[in-house]
Amino acid sequence: MQLSFKQYRTIDLIILLIVLAVAEALTAVAAKYWFTGEIYVLSPTVAVLCIVMMRWGAYAAVHAAAAGAVLCIVTGAVPEQFAVYCIGNCFALLALLWFRFLGKEKVRAKVLITGLYTVTVFCAVQIGRWIVGLFLGGSISDIGGLFAGDSLSLVFAIIVVQLTRRLDGVFEDQKTYLLRTESERRKKEAMDLGDTEYGDDAGHF
């Protein structure tokens, strides 16, 4: 059975959503029950959003909002916190400007630019949460706590994204990836066919 591009995209987005939801739930449970005294938290959200945006662009908004919802559900957050995390996480999409001005391939290919892209996603998420929090009665000084408390997530995201960019097709625009692999497949088939024809001709000598 051959999948259409839309079917492939839907399945891929769902798988990534499930991975993010499970990982976010596990880290939230760990922070709530086992590491209650720690001021730093570790979240996979930024790392996964970096990958989803590279693969599918603005569809990552679904994953951003879902990650915030999962975190809030697991930790028993109040409605205001749902807004802070669900809406604030969506500010990550500001990092799509990297693709607009440089293109996905350049962001993917250069270690430094990939790192800056990851940092941009992290900063956009924290600033987004802070802005939403301000509208809901938060303090200007809250931004320091957001950046400091989630700093481990940035380190984690940088490591994960740098590792995945080395894996074929993982940190890559999926339309480009599919076209590239299809082109490579056809070239290989053409070469194999040429070798077979050459071998058949050689048998007549």
Q: Does residue 96 lie in a domain region?
A: yes
Asked if residues 51 and 63 have their Cβ atoms less than 8 Å apart, the reply is no
**Per-residue pLDDT at 200:** 57
Q: Does residue 193 lie in a domain region?
A: no
The closest of 176, 41, 59, 17 to 122, measured between CA atoms, is 41
Residues 132, 134, 139: CA angle, nearest 5 degrees: 140
Q: Does residue 128 lie in a domain region?
A: yes
| 158-195 CB burial, b ≥16 within 10 A, e <16 | bebbeebbeeeeebbbbeeeeeeeeeeeeeeeeeeeee
Asked if residues 125 and 92 have their Cβ atoms less than 8 Å apart, the reply is yes
Domain with 139 in it = 5-177
Residue 194 has pLDDT above 90, yes or no: no
What's the alpha-carbon Rg for the chain, to the nearest Å? Answer: 21
Binned at pLDDT 50, 70 and 90, residue 205 comes out as very low
- More confident call, 54 vs 147: 54
Q: Does residue 191 lie in a domain region?
A: no
What whole-number distance in Å separates Cα of residue 162 and Cα of residue 167? 10
Residue 110, class by beta-carbon neighbours within 10 Å (0-12 exposed, 13-18 middle, 19+ buried)? middle
Domain count, the chain: 1
pLDDT tens for 86-139 read 999 999 999 999 999 999 999 999 999 999 999 999 999 999 999 999 999 989
Q: Does residue 183 lie in a domain region?
A: no
Q: Does residue 45 lie in a domain region?
A: yes
What whole-number distance in Å separates Cα of residue 193 and Cα of residue 140? 67
**Per-residue pLDDT at 202:** 47
CATH classification of the domain holding 165: 1.10.1760
Q: Does residue 47 lie in a domain region?
A: yes
**Per-residue pLDDT at 204:** 46
| 53-86 CB burial, b ≥16 within 10 A, e <16 | bbbbbebbbbbbbbbbbbbbebeebeeebbbbbb
Binned at pLDDT 50, 70 and 90, residue 182 comes out as confident
- Which ranges in the chain belong to alpha helices (H)? 5-29, 45-56, 60-75, 79-89, 97-102, 104-109, 111-135, 142-149, 151-164, 174-202
- Name the percent of the chain lying above pLDDT 70: 91
